[in-house]
Amino acid sequence: SQTIHQWPATLVQPVGSPLSLECTVEGTSNPNLYWYRQAAGRGLQLLFYSVGIGQISSEVPQNLSASRPQDRQFILSSKKLLLSDSGFYLCAWSKGGGRTDTQYFGPGTRLTVL
Amino acid sequence: KNQVEQSPQSLIILEGKNCTLQCNYTVSPFSNLRWYKQDTGRGPVSLTIMTFSENTKSNGRYTATLDADTKQSSLHITASQLSDSASYICVVTTGFQKLVFGTGTRLLVSP
């Protein structure tokens, strides 16, 4: 069976500090991978998606970046965090590009920028 | 502009009662509609998915309906349980894996 891991589970960082969130998927190969942010009282916002190693598409311009160094590893980074970066970050995977493919979400990382 | 609106924002019901959550969308072209359940502090979990030709889909005590003409969907929960307390998110897909998320309905089932 497939599982998706995210860490850390919670993170408190000062403004201007760097960020690195990691997501890994087990039990499948060549998945589509996604990073979402969920701000308090807001819907999920797609930040990045990747259909393969080194292939990253950005949905929203911001001070965040994503990388996919391995097939089942997806990393979300920032060089300098802003207060507005606080939120619940979710990684997700899907099997492919079919219109009915379901996305499976990880447990999330709660980021607080102070 | 592609939008998904959900109502009510929050809902409190007694354990054992039924409830219905609403989702209206203005997404074009439409591909499919999903309902997700998100427990507090956890990632969303898929409940149902419906394409254009499907009017209803059930998953245990959860039944989703879709009216593609009026661009409305509903999620009906039967005989609610305390574990149903969560946020329920309506998600519409347009194009290749382009998802439009609703802000969710927060449901609290009270004993």
Cα dihedral: A60, A61, A64, A66 (round 10): 60
Q: Does A100 score more than 90 pLDDT?
A: no
Closest CA of chain B from A105, distance in Å: 5
Q: Provide the pLDDT confidence category of residue A20 given band limits of 50, 70 and 90.
A: very high
Low-confidence ranges of chain B (pLDDT < 70): 95-97
Q: Please give the pLDDT value at position B96.
A: 55
DSSP assignment of chain B: ---EEEE-SEEEEETT--EEEEEEE--SS--EEEEEEE-TTS--EEEEEEETT--EEEETTEEEEEETTTTEEEEEE-S--GGG-EEEEEEEEETTTEEEE---EEEEEE-
Place of tokens 């593609």: B68
CB contact under 8 A, B41 and A43: no
Best residue in A11, A99, A110, A111 for a mutation probing chain B (most B CBs within 10 Å): A99
**pLDDT tens, A31-45?**
999 999 998 777 888
**Alpha-carbon span A23 to A72, nearest angstrom:** 8
With beta carbons under 8 A apart, name residues in chain B contacting A102: 34, 46, 49
Q: Please give the pLDDT value at position B13.
A: 96
∠ CA B89-B93-B95 to the nearest 5 degrees?
165
**pLDDT tens, A51-94?**
889 899 888 767 899 999 999 999 999 999 999 999 999 999 98
Q: Give Cα separations from B94 to B30, B67, B98, B99 (angstroms).
A: 5, 16, 5, 6
CB contact under 8 A, B102 and A49: no
